[in-house]
Chains A and B, each alone.
Chain A
């Protein structure tokens, strides 16, 4: 095997793939990146057995062959080289020699036999969506914050994608909050799958400004993201996802509008005093005709009370976790936010009605926060 490429390009590709090369003791080859050259096409591949990242690297010249090399070591070596150095990687038996200008080194590689074969998307059966990477990135960043890391409930550790009335939605929840986003309107196929949040994170990390379009293909148990020269293949989470629409409250008798920056400011202020108390609880309160305030107490430090002037129609109070409100406000894009809540109890579930946040003038994104009882 032999490739010749600019250090800068190779370094970028290696950085893309080497993140998931894990130090799995039982199968050391998973530390490695597989470098495969076949008919002028060079691919760099790593996998952690939940997902795989493949980078198709354009090179100036190449010779066929395969080898695996410790990913992190190679990535660090290449990234230290001067950017415009012309780098040549060639193998002799299992020795991988790297030469760039006056720098050269030999890394012990391992044969590719043990490197797992990757599952592939069956294009015929696949459901494929395409969208702008910018939209995708924004949507995912807004949703992924609500995903859980509690592996006792595997479904919630993922981001759920589902279609309803020709709209592709994506949603995540950890049981305390829900984030839901309309991703694509007017889609033809139907899906209902859950992608591990970790995979989404890797996809987000791989996105750079040059990539305009992302292609997402689903099989029954596999998803593939294609963006630029990168392909990410991942398992799906095989667990029933709860029906989120049940959580979305219908009767909200208190509603108000507020400037997002201002809201963010008073929430931050309140959270300073909520940090040490039980559960970071802050209390939001409306007072007719024009007051929305957030209140928090930390016994040992003092208390905080901040107010926004805005039109409110009814007095009410709700306690929520400050961090969750901050998270939500941070990812929302609208200048004005609509907050809705209610003091009443849901008649069906007999639970307190959660708080709901929206961007003013758009129903594309909603964020729901469960109230805390104090």
Chain B
């Protein structure tokens, strides 16, 4: 029944304007269609009236085309009202795979540590439009390691779930093939190991250990060091494994071609089978992630609270999770629900990426503006307390936000001596501890700097 209505809707959509369709048909459903008595569920009586008077023929035609007998069409208001005030629908987390039984399945590789953390599973990886491609690839790797996506190159900003996903792949492969040798290692450990074994004269052993692997997972590839010997070793192992159709998985925060220390040969090879990226989750995905994390901890949190966090954290999933756990902890301690905490202002979540880099000039301008001064007034030699104060705030921000050296800061704010700058910064830092107004003002300026 449901599908028939979906099809009918698809047909109706073609016939009427998009605005009309999305307004009038959005929350409709086919409730029954027995003996030609069709009943369609709608949101409220306004919809009944409109559908009856303007769209009856369209609906009828669409239903008949989809093989439904239509004698009469009635409308009914559905109890399941989707309230229109809630801004967006929150998609339930899609989950795939099954729960990993504990670590037991690692038998057969007893004296071999995989480096995997069994808490990372596909089960608790929330799939959304930001990562579904990568997950689809991951699933195909789990089914047939070493065939389709080899090497599997995964990239994306920090905190978006790269490590989680590749560890989950490792865990799932181990579950399906307990006899496989799977190794997860951050590239830095790889080097440490390599250097270590070379020093101990066990270089051969090292390369054998890697060459006997079935699945090699390298994390944080962007940290690869520019040491010819080490890169060459990695390159050799890579080639060796790849030729014998062993699965290689590499993560990085950017594409290999953008990593300066990687030579072109290596970069090409890494993306042979394509590069998959994890993106910043969309609002709905963020809600789903939060919901799933909250469910995991068994804590109660209102949808509005989740939406609030999702809306205000725009950096990465790690921040999202840390905000959630802070709020849950606070709600536990204070005995308020998360939403109440947010509403009474106890919690103020804002994580915005610092997308646009700022400039010294911009900082000085914004500070001046915030203190109702002109930039030249701020840069003047005036010792009026108000202006001096503004100047010191500018010094502080230049140092905090841009990490400029003190002589450079002195130049930017028009003072002669870098020790004046040191003094100014120290003064503001001290004032910040006590002066709430100043704290707010600086926070506000910061907001404007990156706006």
Contacts and interface: CB of A to CB of B under 8 A. Distances in A.
Interface in A210-225: 219, 221-222
A78 B44 CA distance: 33
Interface string A30-65: 000000000000000001011010000000000000
B50 A154 contact: no
Contact of A279 (B18, B48, B303, B336): B336
A49 B47 contact: yes
B85 A238 contact: no
A238 B46 contact: no
B190 to A, nearest CB: 49
A119 interface: yes
Interface in B334-387: 334-336, 340, 344
A23 B362 CA distance: 36
Given A117-B54, A238-B79, A278-B335, A151 B49 contact: no
B77 A116 contact: no
Contacts of A177: none
A26 B85 CA distance: 15
Interface string B320-339: 00000000000000111000
Contacts of A239: 79, 81
A37 B53 CA distance: 20
Contacts of B18: 26
B110 interface: no
A119 B49 contact: yes
Given A50-B84, A151-B85, A278-B335, A119 B19 contact: no
B49 A117 contact: yes
B20 interface: yes
B86 interface: yes
- The interface centre, meaning the residue of A26, A219, A222 with most chain B CB atoms within 10 A of its CB, is A26
A235 B334 contact: no
A119 B340 contact: no
B46 A116 contact: yes
Contacts of B244: none
Nearest to A25: B19
Contacts of A114: 19-20
B74 to A, nearest CB: 13
B49 A116 contact: yes
A351 B81 CA distance: 31
A279 B19 CA distance: 44
B23 interface: yes
Interface in B64-80: 77-79
A123 B22 CA distance: 31
Contacts of A120: 49
B302 interface: yes
Contact of A152 (B22, B78, B303, B334): B303
B46 A49 contact: yes
A26 B336 contact: no
Contacts of A221: 44-45, 77
A291 to B, nearest CB: 29
B83 interface: yes
A214 B23 CA distance: 32
Interface string B26-60: 00000000000000000111111110011000000
Contacts of B49: 116-120
Interface in A247-291: 278-280
B77 to A, nearest CB: 5
Contacts of B84: 49-50
Contact of B336 (A24, A52, A219, A278): A278
A82 interface: no
Given A26-B23, A278-B335, A117 B44 contact: no
Given A26-B19, A26-B22, A239-B79, 12 more contacts: A49-B43, A49-B47, A50-B44, A117-B49, A119-B46, A150-B302, A150-B304, A222-B45, A238-B79, A239-B81, A279-B336, A279-B340
User: 7 closest A-B pairs (Cβ-Cβ)?
Assistant: A235-B44, A151-B83, A119-B49, A119-B45, A27-B23, A26-B22, A116-B50
Interface of A: 24, 26-28, 47, 49-50, 52, 114, 116-120, 150-152, 154, 157, 219, 221-222, 235, 237-239, 278-280, 373
